[in-house]
Amino acid sequence: MADLRVNFCGVELKNPITTASGTFGFGHEYGEFFDLSQLGGIGVKGLTPTERLGNPAPRIAETPQGILNCVGLQNPGIDRFIEEQIPFLRRYDTKIIANVSGNTVEEYEGMVEKISDADVDLIEMNISCPNVKCGGMAFGTQPKMVEEVVSAAKAKAKKPLIVKLSPNVTDIAAIARACEAAGADGISLINTVLGMRLDLARRKPLLANTTGGMSGPAIFPLAVRMVYQVYEAVSIPIVGMGGVTCA
């Protein structure tokens, strides 16, 4: 059997296949269909300081070659994740990538500090989610803000810190360089692309939140282009995602 082990930010993964945060929940549903131990790592659903119910329905809309979602970071909160979900995930031989989000620099610091003391392998900062009206979008689109929040979080991190980038920017390489300058151990990209669909019969948006993040095969060429640009701009390791459907 081929040796597919990779070293990412000092953590050895049995193979380079991980799930993208937001697409996989905490693994419960998918564990009914295949052995989660086959994965190199699991990027869990995005976490916030307290429980979030997310945006109102409808939150999902189909598009050609993909879907739009405005789920809005629905999650049980970081404390319940540590108490309830980590023991479940540790039943499997895979690495845990905890994804955290916040609305202020202080919230990011607190989230990273708390999750650093938990039994996870890597920390991923979501500074790019386009579904929340405050916080993430502003941080992820301005290099100075990116450098400020990543620097603050890195100072609290006891585990390798990955920063997840938004594609909804003018210059993705500038954002990546700000992450590297701030001390990020790695980068993941891309998150969903901001999009919108209309219900022609009602003459209103299909999503209750009006816009949402587009994922699926249609965004794959965008993801490849941005991963290439970031690879050319920084020397820290990269996780590529977005529209991937096969090896």
Instruction: Give Cβ neighbours of residue 70 (< 8 Å, ≥ 6 apart).
Output: 55, 59, 131, 207, 208, 209, 211, 212, 213
DSSP E strands, the chain: 6-8, 11-13, 18-19, 41-43, 60-63, 66-69, 95-100, 122-126, 161-164, 186-189, 193-195, 198-199, 204-205, 212-215, 238-240
Q: Is 129 a catalytic residue?
A: yes
Compute the Cα dihedral for 20, 25, 30, 31 and give only its sign.
Answer: positive
Closest CA to 185 of 165, 164, 162: 162
Which one from 9, 70, 129, 246 is the annotated catalytic residue?
129
Do strands 66-69 and 95-100 pair parallel, antiparallel, or not at all (unpaired)? unpaired
Which of the residues are catalytic?
129
